Chains A and B, each alone.
Chain A
Amino acid sequence: MIKKRSSSNVLPNTLGELELLVMEALWQQPHQDAKNVCSNIPRNRQPTLNTVQSTLERLYKKGLVDRIKTGHAYTYYASFSRSNLLARLMGDVIHLLHDGRLETILSSFVNVAADLDDKSLNDLEALIAKKKQDLGGGAE
């Protein structure tokens, strides 16, 4: 029986270290109970079973994992793939870059705004070609 979560509209861009470790364990091997998830987390960063259980509950509420009740326990699986999570994170980065909230955290090679049209880019390319010609076939 699949139990529906009550709230699933929380952005996954606030995943903590432990949440990422739990997601990693579920991506590696889906349909695990909390005990298995706990044992699949690297030993040097292994939390207690209770902590893993509450982390799974949090991830379930965030809509990143789903669960099936088997007997008295739940088995969990990732409902959000690694690439989906990354794509969502990249989307957040792009939006945060736009409104300047990431300006002191990251530098991107070119800005992500569609601030130049094709004609402007063509004009710039023509300028570069002319400069190249002036310099003698590309050598600077």
Chain B
Amino acid sequence: MINVLGTFSAIWLVLWVLLSVLFVVIYPVVRPLLFRLHPRYGSALLLFYWTVPFLASISSTSILFMPTVESILVDAHCHAECLEHAPLIYSNGLAWFGVVIGSIVFVLLSVQFLLTMTRSVQLHRQFNSLGRPLGEYYAIKSQCPLVFTLGWWHPSIYVSDGLAQGCDEWDLSIILLHEQAHQERRDNLRLLLARLCSAILSQNLARQMMADLQLMTEEACDFRAAEKFGHIAVAETLIKVKRLLMAHPAPLPMGVLGFAEREVETRIMALLNAANRVSPKPWQLVFLGAGILLALLLLVSPLHHGSEWVITFLAADVPHLH
């Protein structure tokens, strides 16, 4: 059991790291293509892009440990005494290494998830308790002009009195439609998923990736509001809210956010040039999905041989499972 679990963890982690490095390297090429798409598709594909290293590594490693599936995808071969083996040859040292590292990663991811969840639940409870429910949102008695959507499964919208007083009914409708889009799309959950799946990336890379994903997510909600109110009206509301926020003493000095700087400017430019964004056709998405599935299946054979080569290299006395 330890051998299987440890070997699984070791292969999965090595593959996760390698795929993450590969995806980071090719991201500068993929990024402009994604930002040329309609943000609805762009944000979904960007989320998918950053979860692929995690999902592909875990699914291809799982396939590797399913003898029936693996036997179809990996050509017959033998080692040393040419004994049949399934799923892989193993090494005790590697297995224990895998168990230890896998456990550390699992614990770190769980702690990160639990801390974020606790913070989310606390904030949700406090704002719900202190705010006044007004139909589709909670009114918050604060002069800071802020509106936000909080929560993962059942997100709620919070609008401060400062924002409600500084906007007219038209602007407020646009803002609420934008926030409702966050609610329906469960954007906070998407961001959490992306953050956990890219936990292996360095802090700097992860911030850049999250900033892009947040930007694309905001654009997707802007475009949703624009379907009803028009792109120009949404752009005007963005300016108005930004001015309200700038007039309030709360904003922190320029440069604090790093990658997300000038987000509003980018979103306004996206709205003004909405006609340039492309919506992929359904057959193109099906083609992309089929291509990814094929790549995943084709990955199994080289992964099997590569893993065995690494195991043999690391351990001279490699016993077989059978």
Could you give, for residues 58-95 of chain B, a 1 whenever the CB lies within 8 Å of some chain A CB and a 0 otherwise?
A: 00000000000000000000000000000000000000
A98 and B252 form a contact (CB under 8 A): yes
A20 in complex: contacting residue of B129, B230, B232, B269, CB < 8 Å? B129
A113 and B261 within 8 A (CB): yes
- Compute how far the CA of A135 lies from the CA of B217 in the bound complex, rounded to whole angstroms: 27
B263 touching A115, Cβ below 8 Å = yes
Question: In the complex, what residues of A have CB within 8 A of residue B150's CB?
Answer: 105-106
* B104 contacts A by Cβ under 8 Å: no
- Cα distance A106–B210 when bound, in Å? 13
Q: Give Cα A13 to B130, complex, Å.
A: 12
Is B191's CB under 8 angstroms from A103's CB?
Answer: yes
- Which segment of A36-44, A61-69, A87-95 sits at the interface? A87-95
- Contacts of B146 on A, CB cut-off 8 Å? 90, 93-94, 108, 112
Task: Name, among B152, B187, B260, B261, the residue most crowded by chain A CB atoms within 10 Å (CB to CB).
Answer: B260
Q: Which of A82, A106, A128, A135 contacts B239 (CB 8 A)?
A: A128
User: Which residues of A are found within 8 Å of B160, using beta-carbon distances?
Assistant: 90
| Distance from A133 Cβ to chain B, minimum over Cβ atoms (Å) | 11
Contact flags B142-158 to A (C-beta < 8 A → 1, else 0): 11101111111000000
B125, CB-defined interface residue at 8 Å: yes
Interface size class of B (residues with CB under 8 A): 35 or more
Q: Are A85 and B130 in contact (CB under 8 A)?
A: yes
Closest A residue by C-beta to B268: A124
Kindly specify which of B15-23, B240-248, B303-311, B313-321 makes contact with the partner chain: B240-248
Contact partners of A95 in chain B: CB under 8 A: 252
Contact B251 A109 (CB under 8 A): no
Interface residues of B in 196-247 (CB under 8 A from A): 207, 210, 214, 217-218, 221, 230-232, 235-236, 238-239, 241-243, 245-246
Inter-chain contact B122/A14, CB cutoff 8 Å: yes
Asked if B38 is at the interface of the complex by the 8 Å CB criterion, the answer is: no
Does B114 interact with chain A (Cβ within 8 Å)?
no
CB neighbours of B230 from chain A (8 A): 140
- Binary contact track B251-267/A, C-beta < 8 Å → 1, others 0: 11111110011111100
Contact A113 to B252, CB < 8 A, known contacts A106-B149, A107-B188, A135-B232: yes
B residues less than 8 Å from A14 (CB atoms): 122
Within residues 102 to 152 of chain B, which ones have a CB less than 8 A from any CB in chain A? 116, 119-120, 122-123, 125-127, 129-131, 140-144, 146-152
List residues of A (104-140) whose CB comes within 8 Å of B's CBs.
104-116, 118, 120-121, 124-125, 127-128, 131-132, 135, 138, 140
A-B contact list, 11 entries, CB within 8 Å:
A20-B129, A20-B130, A87-B143, A90-B250, A93-B123, A104-B191, A107-B191, A107-B217, A109-B175, A124-B239, A124-B268
Ranked 4 nearest A-B pairs via Cβ = A114-B251, A104-B192, A108-B148, A106-B150
